[in-house]
Structures are given as C-alpha cells and as structure tokens.
Amino acid sequence: MEVDLTQSINNNLFTINNLWMMIATALVFIMHLGFATLETGLTRSKNTVNILFKNSIIPALGILTYTLWGFNMMYPGESFAGSFFGFSGFGVFTDAEGLTPIYNIGYTYWTDFLFQAMFAATAATIVSGAVAERIKLSSFLIFSTLFVGIVYPVVGMWKWGGGFLNELGFYDFAGSTIVHSVGGWGALTGVVFLGPRLGKFGKNKINPIPGHSMPLAVIGVFLLWLGWFGFNGGSVLSADPGLVSLVLVTTSLAASAGGVSAMISSWMYTKKPDITMVLNGILAGLVGITAGADLMGPLSSIIIGGISGSLVVFSVVFFDKMKLDDPVGAMSVHLVCGIFGTLAVGLFGSKAGLDQLWAQVIGIASTAVFVVISTSLMWYVLKKTMGIRVSELEEVEGLDFGEHAMEAYPEFEKVS
Amino acid sequence: MEVDLTQSINNNLFTINNLWMMIATALVFIMHLGFATLETGLTRSKNTVNILFKNSIIPALGILTYTLWGFNMMYPGESFAGSFFGFSGFGVFTDAEGLTPIYNIGYTYWTDFLFQAMFAATAATIVSGAVAERIKLSSFLIFSTLFVGIVYPVVGMWKWGGGFLNELGFYDFAGSTIVHSVGGWGALTGVVFLGPRLGKFGKNKINPIPGHSMPLAVIGVFLLWLGWFGFNGGSVLSADPGLVSLVLVTTSLAASAGGVSAMISSWMYTKKPDITMVLNGILAGLVGITAGADLMGPLSSIIIGGISGSLVVFSVVFFDKMKLDDPVGAMSVHLVCGIFGTLAVGLFGSKAGLDQLWAQVIGIASTAVFVVISTSLMWYVLKKTMGIRVSELEEVEGLDFGEHAMEAYPEFEKVS
Amino acid sequence: MEVDLTQSINNNLFTINNLWMMIATALVFIMHLGFATLETGLTRSKNTVNILFKNSIIPALGILTYTLWGFNMMYPGESFAGSFFGFSGFGVFTDAEGLTPIYNIGYTYWTDFLFQAMFAATAATIVSGAVAERIKLSSFLIFSTLFVGIVYPVVGMWKWGGGFLNELGFYDFAGSTIVHSVGGWGALTGVVFLGPRLGKFGKNKINPIPGHSMPLAVIGVFLLWLGWFGFNGGSVLSADPGLVSLVLVTTSLAASAGGVSAMISSWMYTKKPDITMVLNGILAGLVGITAGADLMGPLSSIIIGGISGSLVVFSVVFFDKMKLDDPVGAMSVHLVCGIFGTLAVGLFGSKAGLDQLWAQVIGIASTAVFVVISTSLMWYVLKKTMGIRVSELEEVEGLDFGEHAMEAYPEFEKVS
C-alpha cells in the first residue's frame, strides 16, 4: 500500500510538471505571433503580406521539419553518433503512454517534442526580420527549412542533446546562444549576402525607413514578453515552485530594466524618447537574461537587463554605420545581447568565475564559427542558383505585389 | 490514516485536473478574439464596426443564454427526457463546494459549465463570418441567441449529453461535427437565405472582394491555433499527461500540415502563394483533426491536416462557383473540413473501421438534417418578419454607418 | 514514513497552487497590452506613439519601483510600522528556496512578488487613459512612478497588507477599490488639473472625438477579460478548485451581463448600438464584480454586471456634462463601477448586510480622501514646476510629433 501511495504521489507530480510544460509550450507558440506583428509593424506596408506569409508558414514548416528529423538530430538519446552530431531516425514515434524512459522524467515524450519544436522555429523567425523587405520568398523558405532542420538542431545537440559544449561546462539555460545568437548569426550572414534595402544608405547618409504601424510593433513585444515566461520558465523542465518563479522574476526584471535603460540611453542620445528603442530594449533584456535566468538574483537581473537595454541602442547605431541593414534590429537584439547574456553567466550570479567565462567564450565562438560557415554556404548556393533577392522593380513596388499579387491594406490611401 | 492520505492524493489530482480545465477554458475564450480579428481582417473596413460588434456581444449573449437554459439542455444529467432532447431546469445552481457528483469526477461543476459555455458561443461565431457584410444586426442577434441557446445544445446533447448518437457509437472528440459542422450548416443556410453581397457575382464572373487588413487576419489565426490547445486539449476533460500532450501534438501537426498543404495547393493553382489560403489551411487542419485528435498518431495527423488544407482551397473555389458567397471561407473551413474530420475517425487512427465510419456518417447526416431544417426555419421566419438583410444603400455605404452610425477608422483616407 | 508521505502530498499541493499563481501572473501581465491597445484604439492616431510609449514603459517602471520599495511598503510583514504605513526595507530578497514563511503558505515569495507587481502597474495605466492626448510625457512618468510606488502600496497595505481597513472588516476581494478606484481617483484629479482636450467642449456643445481604430479597442477589451481570469482568479491565492472556478464563472457572467446591459442602455438612449459602450460595459461588469467575485452566485453576478453595464453608459454622459474630459471612459469604468462593485459586497452575496455595507463605505471614503489629496498634491507640484500639459501647438499637431518626433502610421493618408 505504501508503494501504491508513493506511486500515486509521484504520478501527481508528473502530471503537474507535464501541465506546466504544456502551458509553457503554448506560451512559446504565441511568440510566433509576437515576431509576426513586431516585424510587420517595423517595416513598410508594401511588404506586409510577405512578412506575414513568412511568419505564418515558418512555424508550420518548422514543426513538420522538426517532427521528421530535427528532434531526432537534436536529442539523439542512445543513438548518439558523437559529440558533434547525432541522429536517432526519421519521424516522431512513441509508445501508447506517451512517456519516454530515456532522458526525461518530468513530462511526456509528446510534451518534450512539442516544447522543443516551438523553440526550433523561433531561430528562423529571427532571421526573417533581418532580411525583410528584399528577400525572395522561395529562397527564404528553403533557407528556413534547412536552418530549422539542420543548423539549429546541430548546435542545440552540442549543449542540450549532451554534446561537446555540455561536456565542457558551457552554460546556456534557455538559449541566449543556442537559440538567439544562432538566429542572430544567420541574420548577419543573410544581411551580408543580401545587401541593404534600396535607398537605406546614401552617400555619407543613413536614411531611416520607419515602420508602418507602431501598434503592431507593441503588440509584438508584449506577446514576446508573455511568451518568454514559457521560453525561460519552461526551460526549468519542471514546475519546481522556487526555480520557475525565480526565473519568471529574473526574466521580468531584466525586461523592465532593458526597457527603462533603452529609454534613457536613446533619450539622451537622440533627445527624443524613441518607442522602437524601448521595445527593442525590453527584448534585449529578455535575450540577455535568457542564458542565466535561473542563476541570477533580482539585482543581477536588473544589471544584466540594464546593460542589454543600452547595448541594443548603440548596437543599432553601430550596424547602421557598418552599412548592415537590419530593418527590425534583430542582430542587435538577438546576436549582440545573446552574446552578452551568455557572457553574463560568467560575470554575475551563482556560476560567475573565470573558468565559467572561458567555457562561455568557447560556446559563443564555436556557435559563431559553425553558424556563420554553414549559413554562408546556404546563402551562397541559393544566391548562385535561385537568387536570394527580388528585382529592383519588385523591391520598389513592394514584395506584396511581386511575390503575392496582394495588398495588406487594399482600402487605405498611401502617402505618396 | 491511509484513507486520509488517499483522500489527500485524490484531492490533489482533482485540483490539477480542474486547473487544466480552467486554463483550457481561458484558451477557448480567446478564440472569440481570434474569430473577431480574422473576420474583421478578411472583410471591408466599412463593415468593421458591425463585425466587431457582433463578435463582442455574441460571447456575452451566448454565455448568458447558456447559463439560463443551454447548459441544462445539453447536459440534462438525471433529468434526461429522452435520447433526442433533455432539460434539467432554468439557471445554473450548485452547492457551496462547486462540485457535482453526477457525471463529472475530474473538475468542478463551475469549471464544467464555463468550459462548455465558451464552446457554445463559437458555433454562432462561425455563422457570423459567412453572413458578414450584409446581415441585419438585430436579426443576427436573435438568430445567434436561438442558435447558441437551442440548436447547438440539442445536437450537443445527442453526443456529449449522452443522447442517441453517443449510444450509437458516433465519435467526435472535440467537435468537428458537434461544434464546427453545426456552425457550418448554420452558415450555409444563412448564405442561401441572404444571397451574395452586392457585386460579388457578375455575369460569368466572380469578383474577389479582398479583406482590408491582413495583420488582423493573421492575429486571428494564431489566436485560434492557441485557443485550439484548450479546445482540443481541454476536451480530454482531465490533465492526463499522455493524452493531453498527445492531443496538443496531433493538433499542432494537423495545423502545420494544413498550412503547408494549402500553400502548395494554392501556389500550384493560382501561381502565387496566397496568405489567406495559408491561414484557412491552418484552420482547416485544426478543424479536421478535432474529431479524432486523441486517436491519431503523428503520421495520421499530418495526413488529415494535409488533406484538410487542400480541401479548403478547392472548397473555396467550389462555393464561389456555386455562387454561395462566404466572405471568410467559414463553410469551407468549418463545414467541409468538419465533415472530413469526422469521417477521418473511421479512416485513420485507433478507431478506424467500417462500423465506425458508418456511425460517423449517421452523426454527420443527422446533424445536417436537424441543423439545416431548424436554421432554415429560423432564417425564414426572421426574413418574413423583421427582414434579415440590410438595404442596398446601407450595404453600399457600409453597415458601420447604417447600423451603428460610426466608423472603425474615421481618420484614414480610403482609396476611392 | 507517514510523515514523509504527508510532506510529499503537501509539496505537490504547494506546487499546484504556485503553478496557478504564476499563470495568473502571466494573465495579469497581458492586461497591460489590453490597456495599451484599448487606449490607443479609443484615441486619435496623432497621439498613438505617445500612448503606446506610456503603456509600454509603465509596466517596466512599475515593476522596478515595486521591486525597490513598493512591495515592501504594501506587505511590510513583521516590520509593521502601524495600521496606516509600513516598510520592511529596500529591495526584494529571499532565501534560496524562494519560500517565505511569514504570511504566505500557498506559493513562493517570488510568485507573490511578481503577481503583486503586475497588479501594481495597472493602477497607473488606468490614469493613463483618462489623461491621454494632452499630458506631458515626462511629468506623467514621474507621476506614475510615485503613484505605483507610493499611493497604490499605501492603500493596498491598508487592506491586503493587514492595515486598518482589514481590521475594520472592509472587504475587497481583488481590488474594485484597492486597484480600480485608486486608479479612478488618480484619473479624476488628473482630468481636473489638466482640463479637457482642445475642442472637446464648445459653447453648450459636447464634441465627440472618436477613436481611430475600433479593432485595437476590441483587442484591448478581450485581452482585459482574459487577464481578469488571472486578476480575480489569482486573487484566490491558491488553486482551490471550487473557489477559483466559481470566481471565473462570476467574473465571466458579470462581464457578459455588463456588455449586454450597456448594449441595451445605449441602444435605447442613442437609438444606435454603440460598440464603445459594449466594450466599456464588459469592462464595467468586470470592475463591478471584482470586489466580491468570490462571494456571489450566478444570479448576483449577472445583476451586478448588469447594473455596472448601465451605470457606465450614464456615467460617460454625466462626466461629459460635467466637462470632465476622459478620452477612454476610465473614470466611468474604474471609479464609478469600482465604487459600485465595492458597495455590492454589502448588497448581494454571502456577506450582504448593513454592517458590511458600512465597512465598505468607510473603505471607499478613506481611499477617496487619501488618493484625491495625495494625487492632487502631486499634480499641483508637477504643474507648478515642470508643467503637466503640452503646448496648444503640440496638442493640435499631436503628441507623437512633439514628444517623440515620430508617427505611428507614417504611410497612411489622413482625412483632412
């Protein structure tokens, strides 16, 4: 009887943990809508259908790709092929109970799969923002499929699948490097291979190209903050009360500090409080805290978020000066703050120390090398074969007309 | 003491199950916002206030109607009046504990009621989209109240209230027939009685009437997908880890396959990737999997979603050819894919078989007969008494002006 | 062993309760997006960036302020300084477990803090709507910081921190007074000190200034309703199945009745069904039920919501006649219905009675006195030093240009 009771108690705990992981999955899912509206709001209305199309189909393509092979590459389990690459077969299958006994004791195999699948597609969505308003739809869909299907799972396996970065002591709680900088590096190579939008950089002049809808951008950032409760909170991999609630606090404090810090920095720098900087500051704080959200106290979280919020303001200016055209600031948010957040694990909180800092540097560097090389190769081949950029005429008229023969707002008069 | 411990363990499980059902309720609630923005985005801005009005008041009216008598018609409990109709009195009352001992051991009476009430209003919302841009507000409100208050609970009782379809072995996990095709049949009769929008069908010509805001449509579809986690996941009626997480996986895979399949079908058919088809494809996959979301594995889910996604593309074309004007494609999504999804239970997954297929056909057919007759009667009486269609002048000027004396976007210049 | 089992069972219950409180926190968080889109939708597009800016930075500033001292003022715990004011030190700190043994047995200290922090910022957001379209950004940010940081925690401490209103038997379940009327009084003094928008009141004439986007307003109200599931449901402070599910039912019934009642009242009064009245009616029902959401049955909830929904319609008319210009109706929703809802605890439900009614009156009155005086002082000092209102030119041109040098929709042509 004692055994039965213990079993029932454990079953209850399993049910609770699994419930939280499913809710976290739903929260990460809604980040895709956040990315969609943020990217749409920060770009021009003539490219809106195209951006919405990409952001609607990427989660779908990403989930299917991840089902067919991505999940089994990232978490090879016993079919471990080495520290750098693994694969345990095609398709997602399991027994009737939906439980897997191998590496997962807190939730079902199905929950594990879906939570990871929702994560996977975010990496491609990050790239989407940086290459917006000029990339060819078909090429981007192929890139995204390969990116979610191969690049992301390989790096993910290095850490979360038990690969060499994990063995080395590299720490990345919810993916400042594994998710955000992976997306960020893919964004950077995309921006380099594509070149800037027409008219962005004149002679000694940077022309701002304002986004067409600030409400959509704000909706996006709030949904992303909401989703981050699942992104970071779910990365605890259980409903552990102390740890999950700590993570929600550190996440929210970093987001808040990021927003306030970006407000102050941009207000001082441009003399006007810039809403897009506040929004990117909030996201910067979220990306920054992601690597160590479970290791920090309130003060460290505020410091990390605050630094991230300022970093993003100056990074946006820096990339503009480098003539790297990123319509939504994806590189500043996800790459720069992803790197900073990863380093912050060695600088603040309960794992701070030189050894840890060194492990973090190795993780950042090896991710950089692999993603830059693999995505450059992908962009290069796509450029040489199908082309990656729309024609000048199409870019001027808008991708909505050229790629989709549709308008996002057919009824409203445009300023000419 | 042993007994006390067992009781405490069971209480905990009850609390967990109830918690999931409450969260599922909140998720189904947010589908109403999804329907509102989807329908708004896919129609013209001159009817936007009207559409938002309908979609805001329907959940309110639906919840009240369901409180007063709908719930007690659908779940008559011991006051069972027969296999086709039941009623256990007016109003929703219960003891202080909020528990009902009769048919429900996994969650409280209040949770049960609210989850079902959120479901109920969706049926009327489906109709709303199909009859948009020409229906008289007052008539539609009366129709909706009767539809949510009588038509839906009667059919619901046949299956979920323990009526004749349940006895017959008909299977409809979360309502491909009981919710979606009920709404779809109501939409079809509405479209027939109302006739098409002015200018939709010319001589040998179908004029596309594009929606006025693609971002709103995309927001709608993502919120619906999110809400479906509660719609299908909550239909497990407990937080059972294996079953709920399986359902979330099959739901997401079907949605993804639906979107990708619709993209491919429409791209091949129209030579351009059509965002509205991707959106309807995602919804088609969701409706398609709903009847058997707990019976399918990953592969079956992908197949069902994929077929639904293609079906919706050709169904939209078909209804246009039949001169049945459905501004948002509600009949294609909810009726056609609702029927297909119900049949899929007999074709794929753990219940597949000829006997089951036959039971499914009977369920589909009896629902069709009852809903078509009852809603036709309602439309007919409304048409003969108050009228169901606005005047031609009002339709041309927009329902916002005629019905509400307001504009949705008073500041923006329209393309003339 | 028995002891161990009991401990495990209790740990499980703690984990469940904490899980619900974290989810409620996320739901309250999303209310900030609801307020942002509602306020944006109901105002003019030339002030949209300004409104979005305020609503994006307030949660960030509010959470930080609440971290640094607000939480420790509102919940002084053992460091109780008296019945009217308390403070337990700067900063939020706790032990590694994230549990606090003092006043909280159902969830972690971190969860408690974050749930309360999300609540706190809503008070300032209520003010934001009433003072929109004419207030100086910098002054409003200072006001908000003081309001969230001092005014709200002082009143909160009177009841929820164990102060004199609590000792007196005043009842306010989730904050009809403590949150909504606190925000409402701050809104009223702000409106008085600021004066109406240019052109709102002519000679014997009230000029309606319609909002620029009804879809944004509707998105706002649905997100607020969703968030209220956490606002009220989380105020149970545990996942207690009967009580939380009852609260979700009473909350939804009051919202529904509020919407329907406002529809009927405004339809009868203005001869046209007014979408903004339906939206405010839903919110009115939500505010009205908040004080006694755990004390009412279905019928009382419908009555309270119904009265609130009518009240808001006539209150909007009344404030207009008083030449108190409140662009979004915040005073009608949060102040008037906050007061009514608080009184309703003495009139309906399980605590109804003259003694209770008297305690409610004292709670309402003391809150009124304190908030009106303290915020008047704040507005007065701000007005005399930095000024609280933008210049006439800036108001005419729009705050987006004057305060932010940006446009919310730079591409769309405006009606001139």
Neighbours of C321 (CB within 10 A): 10
Burial C26-56 (b: 16+ CB within 10 A, else e): bbbbbbbbbbbbbbbbbbbbbbbbbbbbbbb
Residues in A closer than 8 angstroms to B278, CB to CB, are 53, 56-57, 60
| pLDDT classification of A102: cutoffs 50, 70, 90 | very low
**Residue of C25, C67, C138 to mutate, testing the A interface (most A Cβ within 10 Å of its Cβ):** C67
- Residue ranges, chain C, pLDDT below 70: 1, 78-82, 93-105
C neighbour chains, 3+ CB pairs within 8 Å: A, B
Residue pLDDT, tens place only, C263-278: 999 999 988 999 999 9
Given a contact cutoff of 8 angstroms between Cβ atoms, the answer to whether A87 and A76 are in contact is: yes
Residues in C closer than 8 angstroms to B96, CB to CB, are 242
What is the average pLDDT score of chain B?
93
Nearest to C273 among B40, B137, B216 (CB): B137
| B414: Cβ contacts below 8 Å, ≥ 6 apart | A411, A412, A413, B45
CB contact under 8 A, B414 and A413: yes
Nearest to B56 among C240, C278, C298 (CB): C278
Residue C106 gets the label, from left (phi > 0), alpha (psi -120 to 50) or beta, of alpha
CB contact under 8 A, B272 and A404: yes
CB contact under 8 A, C243 and B98: yes
Give percent of chain B with pLDDT exceeding 90. 84
CATH class of C9-404: mainly alpha
Given a contact cutoff of 8 angstroms between Cβ atoms, the answer to whether B200 and B209 are in contact is: yes
Query: For residue A214, is pLDDT > 90?
Result: yes
A16: closest CA of chain B, how far (Å)? 7
Pick from C412, C415, C404: which is nearest to C56 by CA? Answer: C404
The residue ranking higher by pLDDT, C96 or A188, is: A188
Cα–Cα dist B278/B218, whole Å: 10
Residue pLDDT, tens place only, C203-257: 889 999 999 999 999 999 999 999 999 999 999 999 999 999 999 999 999 999 9
Query: For residue A32, is pLDDT > 70?
Result: yes
CB contact under 8 A, C275 and B52: yes
Residue pLDDT, tens place only, A132-166: 999 999 999 999 999 999 999 999 999 998 899 99
CB contact under 8 A, A26 and B255: no
Pure H helices in C42-99: 48-65, 71-74
Predicted pLDDT at C121: 86
Pick from C372, C376, C254, C276: which is nearest to C330 by CA? Answer: C276
Residues in C closer than 8 angstroms to B71, CB to CB, are none
**Residue of B15, B267, B275 to mutate, testing the A interface (most A Cβ within 10 Å of its Cβ):** B275
Q: CB pairs below 8 Å between B and C: how many?
A: 183
Beta bridge partners of A389: A135
Cα–Cα dist B341/B278, whole Å: 18
CB contact under 8 A, C57 and A260: yes
Task: Report the pLDDT averaged over residues A96-111.
Answer: 62
Query: For residue A88, is pLDDT > 80?
Result: no
B205: closest CA of chain C, how far (Å)? 32
Pure H helices in C44-151: 48-65, 71-74, 109-130, 137-146
Top-confidence range, A4-13, B135-144, C105-114? B135-144
Query: For residue B103, is pLDDT > 60?
Result: no
Cα–Cα dist B7/A385, whole Å: 68
Helix (H/G/I), strand (E/B), else coil: B389: strand
B neighbour chains, 3+ CB pairs within 8 Å: A, C
Predicted pLDDT at C86: 74
Predicted pLDDT at A94: 56
C406: closest CA of chain A, how far (Å)? 8
Residues in A closer than 8 angstroms to C408, CB to CB, are 213-215
pTM, two decimal places: 0.97
Burial B252-269 (b: 16+ CB within 10 A, else e): bbbbbbbbbbbbbbbbee
CB contact under 8 A, B19 and A19: yes
Nearest to B415 among A33, A98, A413 (CB): A413
User: What radius of gyration, in Å, describes the C-alpha atoms of chain B?
Assistant: 21
CB contact under 8 A, A213 and C409: yes
Nearest to C98 among A5, A241, A256 (CB): A241
Predicted pLDDT at C103: 37
Nearest to B298 among A55, A67, A405 (CB): A67
Cα–Cα dist B90/A337, whole Å: 59
CA C308 to chain centre: 16
Residues in B closer than 8 angstroms to A117, CB to CB, are 252
Domain boundaries, chain C: 9-404
CB contact under 8 A, C63 and A252: yes
**CA torsion through residues B223, B226, B232, B235, sign:** negative
Residue located via tokens 């030119």: C393
Look up residue A134 and give its amino acid: R
Cα–Cα dist B364/C189, whole Å: 61
Protein fold of B2-404: Ammonium transporter fold (1.10.3430)
CB contact under 8 A, C9 and B12: yes
Task: Report the pLDDT averaged over residues B20-38.
Answer: 97
**CA torsion through residues C7, C9, C12, C18, sign:** negative
Residues in B closer than 8 angstroms to A411, CB to CB, are 44-45, 212, 414-415
Task: Report the pLDDT averaged over residues B58-84.
Answer: 84
CB contact under 8 A, B18 and C218: no
Predicted pLDDT at C93: 67
Cα nearest neighbour of C251 on chain B: B114
Cα–Cα dist B82/B73, whole Å: 11
Predicted pLDDT at A78: 63
Please state the length of chain C: 416
CA B375 to chain centre: 16
CB contact under 8 A, C412 and B407: no
Task: Report the pLDDT averaged over residues B393-415.
Answer: 94
End-to-end Cα separation, chain A, in angstroms: 79
C293: closest CA of chain A, how far (Å)? 25
Residues in B closer than 8 angstroms to A53, CB to CB, are 273, 275, 278
Burial C82-118 (b: 16+ CB within 10 A, else e): ebeebebeeebebeeebbbeeeeebbbbbbbbbbbbb
CB contact under 8 A, C212 and B56: no
A209: closest CA of chain C, how far (Å)? 10
Predicted pLDDT at A8: 87
Cα–Cα dist B149/B172, whole Å: 21
